[in-house]
Amino acid sequence: MRRLNYYINSIFRKSISGKFVISMTVLIVLSVFLVGYGSFQVAGDVVERETRNYVEDILLQTGKNIEMSLKNVSDIVFYLQINSVLQRSITHAKDNEEGLEAIQTRENIRNTIYHSVLYNDEIEAVELISDSGKVFEINKTLEEHFLNRTGKKEIYDAKGSKLWVATDPITRTFAIAAAVNSLRTQKPLGYINFYIKESYINNIFSQMKFSNSGEMFIMNRDGIIISHNDKYLLNTKIKQDYTKGIFNGNNRGFFHCKINNEESYVAYLYLKEQSWYIVSIIPAIKYSQKLLLVRLAIIIIGICVVVTAIFAAIFITNRISRPIKKLKVAMKQFGEGDMSVNCSVESQDEIGQLSRDFNKMVQNINELIQRVYDETLLKQQAELKSLRMQINPHFFYNTLETINWMARINGVTEIGVVAKAMGELMRLTIGGSDFIKICDELKSVSNYISIQKYRYDDKLSVSMDINEELYELYIPKLILQPIIENSIVHGILNKASGGHIEIRGRLISDIVEFTVNDNGVGIHPERLKDILENKFDTFEDDHTHVGVNNVDRRLKIYYGEKYGVQIKSRVGVGTDVIIRFPGLKFLPDDNTR
């Protein structure tokens, strides 16, 4: 026993497969035991529910068939109630009891009724009684119908509604009675009795052989039997106590009770139009035999389930543990420094999703490492360029200032202006923080444009439209100058005539947007596509040591991927370069970048 416990504990500590197999086996055995223990109770409920559903479905279908069949008769009654010929004839018959005119009236009534019921075999006879008591009858048999007639007052009180009368056990017919009211005055002119064969509705439910020993019949709200397979029970009243469960106000129901000391199921359905109940009684003993079969089936199935569950648990455990082991190996390799590891689990379950998330995590880590490496390299390059530019800057300032004064002394003012602009440009861009105010950046741009105008003479013109609310916001250094230089070198200089560059600046929802537009030669669509796909690498050349690519990458590093540089161009029309970044009113901390 100790060895068994030790073995089980070892499995639970070290193996998921062992845990799953043992847990599944215990769970199945316990479940089968509980099912077997409660088999009779559960089976009883199942059998009763099955019987109830089955019988109720039969009752519903039978009720629909009976109502549909009787609707045909009901429609004929309604047709005769509103028939204009019948209305005039019965009125005339009331006032004129004798003579040729009375004979003609009788013929009109008889012909109207006869043509309405001629092809309806279920209608055995029709009586039309005028308000004065004159009787007009169409009878397909020699039988006389007296027992199932309804009194005149009761019919008139129904105000034209149909009354369904109990079955006559002698003629085996039940009656439908309804008043014939004047369409003009709504006063009763007489009433009409239809006599329907009881077999017409009996044939509908007698075909439902749901139980060899069960019975189905129809009774009215007084417990009087309307239709039954046993014709001796027609028009008799049911004296059993189970009728109390039927007359409870519900339109349908199912219950079990004792009938003649025998357990039985009773189901009923109320037919609203006729105020009848369809009742079905089934002895419970016919269904109790199913309980023994259910119990035997549970025992056999339980044994099969336990055996199958053990094999299934072993199979499923292997299927589950195999991808887990793969993931475990991949994670171990990754932990040992293998950054190219990939866990190849193709399943769509949680393990497969976990493996895909692991692969995605490895990919993201590799991309992050590469990005950090690129950013570090870019920062080092920028720092190196800054160090190169900061070599004794005062020496350059003083030299340029000397050139400026020497040019002025010798009367060459153009050289002085260029030297002065160059000095201001270097003063703003060399050293200090990587961020300056936009107004200082615009000064640097103005100095750069002044130098270029002297260089290219009247071939270049530049205009600036900058919103003043941008002046006090901060911008990284050397953002606009490389873009303007690109427009000059690649757009304006390749144009035969002079070119124009327009610089616009706006603040849109706290986003600074600069647009540099030139009317140069533009960029061919294929080249523009290459430029966009290669992140502006095509723009890198010897004309700028900072580069448009550097501008875009710096903005993305500082502010995020959704900011940076966009290019729109049309060949022969010009190029628009759009620069977007957040508007900051404070000086960013370069060290946190």
Residue 391 pLDDT grade (very low, low, confident, very high; cuts 50, 70, 90) = very low
Strand order in the sheet with 460-466: 460-466, 499-508, 511-518, 574-582, 564-570
More confident position, 451 or 289:
451
Cα–Cα distance measured from residue 284 to residue 262, given in angstroms and rounded to the nearest whole number: 8
Q: Per-residue pLDDT averaged across 554-572, rounded?
A: 87
A 10 A CB-CB count for 499 gives 22
The mean pLDDT of 522-544, rounded to a whole number, is 62
178: three-class secondary structure by DSSP: strand
Measured between alpha carbons, how far is 283 from 289 in angstroms, rounded to an integer?
A: 12
146-150, 262-266, 423-427, 477-481: segment of lowest average pLDDT: 423-427
Please, what is the average pLDDT of the chain?
78
Q: What is the pLDDT of residues 197-242, one digit of tens each?
A: 888 888 887 776 554 567 889 999 888 999 988 888 888 888 888 8
Instruction: State the angle between helix axes of 2-14 and 16-37 in degrees (0 to 180), rounded to the nearest 10.
Output: 120
CATH 3.30.450.20 fits 47-283, yes or no: yes
Which tokens hold the place of 104?
Answer: 């003609």
pLDDT tier, 38 (very low <50, low <70, confident <90, very high otherwise)? confident
Q: Is the model's pLDDT at 388 over the cut of 80?
A: no
Question: DSSP assignment of 49-102, as one string?
Answer: HHHHHHHHHHHHHHHHHHHHHHHHHHHHHHHHHH-HHHHHHHHHHHH--SSHHH
pLDDT tens digits, one per residue of 156-203: 888 888 888 888 888 888 889 999 888 888 888 888 888 888 888 888
pLDDT at 582: 93
Q: What is the pLDDT of residue 291?
A: 66
| pLDDT at residue 540 is higher than 50 | no
* For the chain, domain boundaries: 47-283, 447-592
| Phi/psi at 546 (5° precision) | -100, -50
pLDDT digits over 44-96, tens only? 777 777 777 888 888 888 888 888 888 888 888 888 888 888 888 877 765 55
8 A C-beta contact, residue 476 and residue 558: yes
Model pTM? Answer: 0.45
Q: What percent of the chain has pLDDT over 90?
A: 7
Calpha distance 137→229 (Å, rounded): 30
Give the lowest-confidence range in 262-271, 320-329, 503-512: 320-329
Quickly count: other Cβ atoms within 10 Å of residue 590's Cβ: 13
Q: What is the largest CA-CA distance in the chain?
A: 152
Top mean-pLDDT range of 369-378, 522-531, 553-562: 553-562
**DSSP string computed for 459-499:** GEEEEEEE-GGGTTSEEESSSHHHHHHHIIIIIITTSSS-E
Beta bridge partners of 254: 267
Query: For domain 447-592, which CATH number applies: 3.30.565.10, 3.90.950.10, 3.40.250.10, 3.40.640.10?
Result: 3.30.565.10
User: Residue 387 pLDDT more than 50?
Assistant: no
Secondary structure percentages of the chain, helix, strand, coil, to 5: 55, 20, 25
Residue 316 has pLDDT above 70, yes or no: yes
How confident is the model over 292-297, as a mean pLDDT? Answer: 72
